[in-house]
Structure 1
Amino acid sequence: MSKNKTQKQSAPADKKKSLSSRIGLTLGKLMIATIFALGIFSIYLDAKVRKTFEGQRWHIPVQVYGQLRTLQPGERVDLNEIAQSLIINGYKKVNYVTRVGEFSHSAERLIIFQRAFDFVDSANHAQQLSIDVVNDIVVTLSVDEQPVARVTLEPKLLARLVPDNKEDRVLVSLEEVPSQLIDTLLLIEDRDYYHHHGISPLGIFRALFNNIRAGRTVQGGSTLTQQLAKNMFLSRERTLSRKIKEALMALILELRYSKDQLLEAYINEVYLGQNYANGVYGFGLAAQFYFGKSINEISHAQMALLIAQVKGPSYYDPWRHPKRAKERRDLVLRLMFEQHLLSLVDFELAAESELSVRSHRRLAKKNYPAYLQLVNAELNRHLSSFTQKSGIKVFTGFSHRSQQLLEQSVAQQLPLLERQYKQSDLEVAMIVTDIASGEVRALVGGRESGYAGFNRAINAKRHIGSLIKPIIYATALQRYQQYNLATPLDDKAITLQSGSGKKWQPKNYDGKYRGQVSLIEGLVYSLNIPTINLGMSLGLDSVADTIKALGYMHKLQMRPSVLLGAINMSPLDVNQLYLPIAGKGYSQKSHTITKILSPKNETLWQNNLISEQRLSGNTAYLVDYALAQVTKVGTARSLTWRLNNKQVAGKTGTSNSSRDSWFIGYDDKHLITTWLGKDDNTSTGLTGSSGALPLFASFMKKQGVVNKIEEKPAGIVVTLFEQQTGNAVTDACANTVIYPAIRKGIFTTKQCLQAKEDKRSWFEKIFGE
């Protein structure tokens, strides 16, 4: 009986033991499976972390800069112009220079405390530059009071071309960040950063305690490494799975990389604001976004406000919620003081200060979108889209001063022309190019300043009118044994017939015929009939060859009407054609970009400064001579009073029915192409001389004319020509004119149609003068 009872009692115990054993085995298996799965998942996360962290971590905006200006002793400069450029670049004028970003200016000296920059082949630290001039000539240059042979001024940031992900940031190294900012960031966000391994239970409990004591959230529980993992790899969803991933990734990051590497990544990754459609990431850009300063220029109060934004850039937005932002900033300042990161005096001054954010929140507005369109087009030819997202620096030939003066001229002159000629809806395109380098200094694509739409300077293809004529005459002058400036051309009514039998009877602009004119007169007075006769005798193919030689890259369909400019070109196309004429026969392809640097300052692309000869020097000189006469006695003669007899050259152009008004002109330094017209291609009522020319003159007057210097090539000789025949003759002939000519093509003859009348008295004839 007792034995059976014992057996009955042990049976349930065995069953319980068996059940617990099975449960334990199952749990063990589940644990092993979980550990295995977690291991596999960790390997996956590790690969993901390494791929991102060791590859191209961020898509960094393209930074586009203006002209890199270098000064040397003996160079002519305008200190007022440089001072104005410094103000545009965010420098502050003071009486005594003591801090980075300041400058002082007197009549003969400019002192600049230049910011640190690494925009050239070697990085430059913040340094004090001195420029001394006498009569506008640089006599002494010094850096930190030591004489130097040259200095490079900091270029102005034109724009930041943000990538498709709309994340904007300025990468900074840990060494560039003030130590006080780093100490405060760790104080607020992760005090145990250098003592934990990615996650910190102690930090979670401390944050909870401080938040309860303060009655609000003043400190977060996540470690800085966890925040980095969340920002760099994960979404913002609040789920348990995301927190697990975050913790695992934080551990992986701590195992793989040093604390300093992670801290630097965080400083560049953290989200700190919203610039309209673009997010502001990292302290480097945030300093510029909120205060317009570099990271090492900000004050104690500004530093505290930046760190305050980590908690919530939208909630503590200083423009929308200044009271909240100031409260959070002051809390950060108090903690800095309590932890001896600020002295009492500095704390009181900082706490009493205003927020001092920029007046407008928009950062790096694209003020010059027309110019940037050209930069973008060139950039796409030079680099792949992937490389463009690596944080490259693009340097251009852009001049802020020229651009501002160009826009001022358009704003002033267009309304005047519309009132004077009772027009409306006039549009404009202007391009300023450095003749020697081919660099585009400034560009206007329409009358509206800052308009980012249709760019007429690049994309408007219009009839160029008489701008084609210098190319036809250049074609002739290259045949120096057959043509010279005195060669007579017929100016009589003509009729041309096309292959289909259609007749064309061109006329001069004034409707008159002069019977015969010299070659230079045909160009200077822009006469149609002599030009057509010349072009047809040369052959349309020969003219086409010259057009291509001067730099026109598109397909040409030559017909007689092309000789009067019935060919569509953009202002940029025309600008290229005239560069060799203005450049004594040599030119480069006009361009904006001069150099592209990688984030490590390695040169990815650089424009070579080797100009190509596109026109013989002798021919270029003769065409240039004629175009100078255009501005003195020809169709552009109003420039004599508009520019106070300054030495320039140029050519007017007008298309049929005055639909297009053109003027292209140049001094010794710059070539300026100007077009006026209407988008619907209706008449403007303006010729080249009445429309585009005043715009050119307005700009040149503002910018200042650098008088053209006549440098006669060795192959050019001043020659006496008989007007009727165009032959080179002696001074015994009557009705002569003096022109420069190519020496090899001159064959002087003593025969002439009419000998010069001897007006000496009989006494002078016998005894001499």
Structure 2
Amino acid sequence: MSAKQQNKASVKSNSKKVTTDATIKSKTWLRKVVIVSAKLAFALASALALFTLYLDAKVQKTFEGQRWQVPAQIFGQVERLTLGEPVKLGQIANALRLNGYQKVTKVDAPGQFAQSANRLIIYRRAFAFPQSSNAYSTDTAELTINSKNGKISQLFSNNIPVNSLLLEPVLLARLVPNNKEDRVLVALQNIPTLLLDTLLLIEDRNFYHHQGISPLGILRALYSNIVAGRTVQGGSTLTQQLVKNMFLTRERTITRKVKEALMALIIEVRYSKDQLLEAYINEVYLGQHYANGIYGFGLASKFYFGKTISQLNSADIALLVAQVKGPSYYDPWRHPARATDRRDLVLRLMFEQNLISVAEFKQAVNSPLSIRKNRRFTRQAYPAYLQLVKQELNQHLTPYQQKMGIRVFTGFSHRTQQTLEQTVTEQLTQLEQKYQQQALQAAMVVTDIASAEIRALVGDKQSGYAGFNRATKAQRPVGSLIKPAIYLAALERFEQFNFATLLADQPITLTIDAEDGSQGETWQPKNYDGKYRQQVPLIDGLVNSLNIPTVNLGMALGLENVANAIHLLGYDNDVVMRPSMLLGAMNMSPLQINQMYLPIANQGFAEQAHAISSISSSKGEILWQYVPSNAQVISTDAVYLMDYALSQVAKSGTAKSLNWRMKGVNVAGKTGTSNDLRDSWFIGYDNRLLITTWLGKDNNEPTGLTGSSGALLLFADFLNKNGGVSKVRNKPDAVAITTFDQKTGHAVPEKCSNTQAYPAISRGIVTLDHCAQKKKEKRSWFDRLFGD
């Protein structure tokens, strides 16, 4: 082979070798790329899987747990009307107005009422009453109340005769959580069909057909935005909107969009379309009420229209759905023209899709915006009462439970509260003018005797004051209000004491031992009028609020026995054992002393005065309910005698001005005055209500008022305005009207002279068979003229 040929062969061989090496290298590189790509793909898939699992856990935790911090709703009294009970239709009508009901000539829709002289017809709105009242429908109902001679003669529910009816309670407040999200949870089945259809029509027509994301919707929105040169349409499905609102922030990043898409797919797999739609209905942001956001259609219907969601018409629904696009941009108060245009666009689409008729469309599109006149929710400004509710709520539920949409039912009465505030305002102004005083303050507590529910409470002379609550916080000397506890301790010892038992009323000096056992300071109590009567029957010591007889009685009983009686009546704090306690040298709040008198007014049964009657979950389950203790702490006989004595206080004792201030109404009560006229007290009760009143000054200066010249006036004025019911107390069999000798206090026959009759427990009475002096026989004028 020639050299030339050899060279060609060599080059060819080398070329093949290079090609082979290149092929080998290329395959090796490709293999590496594939392997690396596979690894990266596996890593990304693993990361995506882990990320998906993380998102899935996050979705489940939120969606299946407590989805929202929902405000606690505080309601007033659930008033029950019963056949035969006294009634004032005008007062019920006023309460209905306070609750947003409208007076009409003929009722034809929920939230309306019609009134005549003896009849009241109410179209009650749907309301879920506490489970304890589950015999009553939660649906709307037409109620009819007929009255005759001031009493309920007939009751009808949807034209069916019934024995009792429940009225819808007033919403007092909503305790919005720290996140400032305010909402009312609504079940899907309670959402009007027209609202659901309209929402899906405008926001996501294919909601029931996609799997969480809609690629075509995204492309369509992208095309519309490119053509318009700005963002005019969104591509998010309703599911994506829900995910964004519930789980994500509002940042616009690729990462957030990926999260949104993944979570939308997850939530669609995990939950049904109906569950997602219900969540969206309650989650969507629809406006701003000052610091609090308005979330969900349930609250939005009240915010914009003052209606429940079931009361919305087609124009209302169109405006609410319009707000989804931009509650700030389409705010009907600030931008009514924009809101109207957007509403009308929604109405036109509703008409085109046959959701509403031609007539409905014309009427709706030509109607003005029917929003509330004032943007601010009507607030029932009763902060003193709500302070008490919050205090009790913290005792019954944890902070976590309080944010689960609970409904709190209280004993609060709007009519009673307004009457109470009016009384305080008017009477304090008159007292300051009459006695030339300034800066008088007041506190009053009104409690229903039978249920122990607190109906109303005032903690300041200024209505709606949200500061220091004197009814619950002010600790003031109670003065003579403590005396019934002392006299009850005596009356329970019926073999030793009765109303005729004579008590010394002479100057006394008591020495108070020092802590080290040495002789301490002396104490010389005096009667308010500075007089001494030598001796008085026990009942006079209480009726006329005499200090010295009371001190003598308390010392005879023993301070420990008196302290036990005070605790038995419901005072929980420690009592300092010293003689001055017998004249009320101990501090209590009006609410505390109110509690002590409740067993007396309640025939010996000690129930805890309370604001909250029951708490239910958003689903209607009872979480807590007040259960009466039925604990009788005063015997039936002794409490009857105490009631008799306190009635005498109002008839002939320190509160005798009630005879003309409250004509025709029998009440019982006790005055109280602290040293130097710094505190003026009166506690009284009729057959229904126990009313505690305090007047004083925050700087503890004298008021110039006694219990009878100050606090008593507020009690009488309130009860006259509110309507008093004469007190009725049946005499126990063990109590008999007994004749007593006034000089000795012994029980004697009726034929004896110089006697006084009092009720007494028969087992403790030994009647003498003789008289110190018999009654002179009364002779007629004929016998005196012609007899021997």
Point out the more displaced range, 535-544 or 332-341.
Answer: 332-341
**Partner Cα separation in structure 2 for residue 214 and residue 461 of structure 1:** 71
How far apart are residue 752 of structure 1 and its match?
4.1
**Partner Cα separation in structure 2 for residue 691 and residue 454 of structure 1:** 22
User: Which of residues 603, 612, 615 in structure 2 aligns to 1:596?
Assistant: 615
User: Which of residues 96, 100, 109 in structure 1 aligns to 2:110?
Assistant: 100
How far apart are residue 10 of structure 1 and its match?
6.7
Q: Secondary structure at the match of 2:463?
A: coil
1:375–1:592 contact (8 Å) kept in structure 2: yes
Distance change in 2, residues 1:7/1:366 (3 Å): farther
2:287–2:323 contact (8 Å) kept in structure 1: yes
> Does 1:65 find its partner at 2:84?
no
Q: Secondary structure at the match of 1:457?
A: coil
**Partner Cα separation in structure 2 for residue 227 and residue 759 of structure 1:** 99
How far apart are residue 369 of structure 1 and its match?
1.8
Distance change in 2, residues 1:466/1:700 (3 Å): same
> Does 1:85 find its partner at 2:95?
yes
1:655-666 matches, cutoff 5 A? 655-666=674-685
Partner of 1:626: 645
Partner of 1:260: 274
User: Which of residues 505, 511, 521 in structure 2 aligns to 1:502?
Assistant: 521
Point out the more displaced range, 273-282 or 84-93.
Answer: 273-282
User: Which of residues 401, 404, 417 in structure 2 aligns to 1:403?
Assistant: 417
Distance change in 2, residues 1:180/1:348 (3 Å): same
User: Which of residues 340, 346, 353 in structure 1 aligns to 2:354?
Assistant: 340
Q: Secondary structure at the match of 2:372?
A: coil
Cα deviation digits, residues 456-489 of structure 1 (max 9, x gap) = 1111111101101111111111111221112221
**Partner Cα separation in structure 2 for residue 576 and residue 129 of structure 1:** 37
**Structure with greater Cα Rg:** 2
Could you state the TM-score of these two structures normalised by the residue count of structure 2?
A: 0.93
How far apart are residue 542 of structure 1 and its match?
0.9
Partner of 1:578: 597
1:159–1:364 contact (8 Å) kept in structure 2: no
How far apart are residue 14 of structure 1 and its match?
5.8
Partner of 2:5: none
User: Which of residues 43, 50, 53 in structure 1 aligns to 2:53?
Assistant: 43
Point out the more displaced range, 548-557 or 113-122.
Answer: 113-122
**Partner Cα separation in structure 2 for residue 54 and residue 396 of structure 1:** 31
**Partner Cα separation in structure 2 for residue 526 and residue 630 of structure 1:** 9
Distance change in 2, residues 1:5/1:763 (3 Å): closer
1:192–1:203 contact (8 Å) kept in structure 2: no
Point out the more displaced range, 744-753 or 498-507.
Answer: 744-753
Q: Secondary structure at the match of 2:390?
A: helix
**Partner Cα separation in structure 2 for residue 326 and residue 218 of structure 1:** 19
AA in 2 matched with 1:743:
S
1:509–1:527 contact (8 Å) kept in structure 2: yes
Distance change in 2, residues 1:515/1:609 (3 Å): same
Point out the more displaced range, 541-550 or 578-587.
Answer: 578-587
1:273–1:314 contact (8 Å) kept in structure 2: yes
Point out the more displaced range, 608-617 or 403-412.
Answer: 608-617
AA in 2 matched with 1:143:
S
**Partner Cα separation in structure 2 for residue 214 and residue 610 of structure 1:** 72
User: Which of residues 65, 70, 83 in structure 2 aligns to 1:55?
Assistant: 65
AA in 1 matched with 2:273:
K
Partner of 2:4: none
> Does 1:724 find its partner at 2:757?
no
Distance change in 2, residues 1:761/1:358 (3 Å): closer
1:158–1:364 contact (8 Å) kept in structure 2: no
User: Which of residues 660, 673, 685 in structure 2 aligns to 1:641?
Assistant: 660
Q: Secondary structure at the match of 1:385?
A: coil
Partner of 1:163: 177
**Partner Cα separation in structure 1 for residue 780 and residue 339 of structure 2:** 101
How far apart are residue 274 of structure 1 and its match?
2.1
**Partner Cα separation in structure 1 for residue 161 and residue 553 of structure 2:** 59
Cα deviation digits, residues 40-72 of structure 1 (max 9, x gap) = 110111111112111221222222211122223
Partner of 1:309: 323
**Partner Cα separation in structure 1 for residue 781 and residue 60 of structure 2:** 107
2:130–2:622 contact (8 Å) kept in structure 1: no
**Partner Cα separation in structure 2 for residue 744 and residue 578 of structure 1:** 26
User: Which of residues 186, 189, 198 in structure 2 aligns to 1:172?
Assistant: 186
Cα deviation digits, residues 529-580 of structure 1 (max 9, x gap) = 1111111111111111111111111111121111111111111111111111
Tell me the C-alpha RMSD between the 2 structures: 2.3
AA in 2 matched with 1:221:
G
Partner of 2:154: 140
Cα deviation digits, residues 320-377 of structure 1 (max 9, x gap) = 3333323322222232223222333322322232222223333363522211222222
> Does 1:228 find its partner at 2:242?
yes
**Partner Cα separation in structure 2 for residue 229 and residue 761 of structure 1:** 102
Distance change in 2, residues 1:217/1:305 (3 Å): farther
How far apart are residue 215 of structure 1 and its match?
8.3
**Partner Cα separation in structure 2 for residue 87 and residue 286 of structure 1:** 21
> Does 1:471 find its partner at 2:485?
yes
> Does 1:120 find its partner at 2:135?
no
> Does 1:356 find its partner at 2:366?
no
Partner of 1:532: 551
AA in 2 matched with 1:405:
T
AA in 1 matched with 2:66:
Q
Partner of 1:197: 211
User: Which of residues 354, 361, 365 in structure 1 aligns to 2:379?
Assistant: 365
Q: Secondary structure at the match of 1:458?
A: coil
User: Which of residues 296, 301, 312 in structure 1 aligns to 2:310?
Assistant: 296
Distance change in 2, residues 1:768/1:49 (3 Å): farther
- Aligned residues, how many? 769
* Identity percentage of aligned residues: 60
AA in 2 matched with 1:595:
S
Distance change in 2, residues 1:269/1:251 (3 Å): same
> Does 1:492 find its partner at 2:506?
yes
1:681-760 matches, cutoff 5 A? 681-758=700-777, 760=779
1:653–1:688 contact (8 Å) kept in structure 2: yes
How far apart are residue 200 of structure 1 and its match?
0.6
Distance change in 2, residues 1:133/1:211 (3 Å): farther
Q: Secondary structure at the match of 1:521?
A: helix
**Partner Cα separation in structure 2 for residue 209 and residue 639 of structure 1:** 84
**Partner Cα separation in structure 1 for residue 93 and residue 34 of structure 2:** 81
> Which consecutive residues of structure 1, in runs of 5 or more, have no partner in the other structure?
none
Point out the more displaced range, 34-43 or 355-364.
Answer: 355-364
2:570–2:606 contact (8 Å) kept in structure 1: no
Q: Secondary structure at the match of 1:142?
A: strand
> Which consecutive residues of structure 2, in runs of 5 or more, have no partner in the other structure?
1-7, 515-519
Partner of 2:390: 376
How far apart are residue 137 of structure 1 and its match?
2.5
Q: Secondary structure at the match of 1:456?
A: coil
How far apart are residue 749 of structure 1 and its match?
1.4
Distance change in 2, residues 1:634/1:391 (3 Å): same
Distance change in 2, residues 1:208/1:59 (3 Å): same
**Partner Cα separation in structure 2 for residue 147 and residue 631 of structure 1:** 42
Partner of 1:612: 631
**Partner Cα separation in structure 1 for residue 219 and residue 706 of structure 2:** 81
> Does 1:329 find its partner at 2:343?
yes
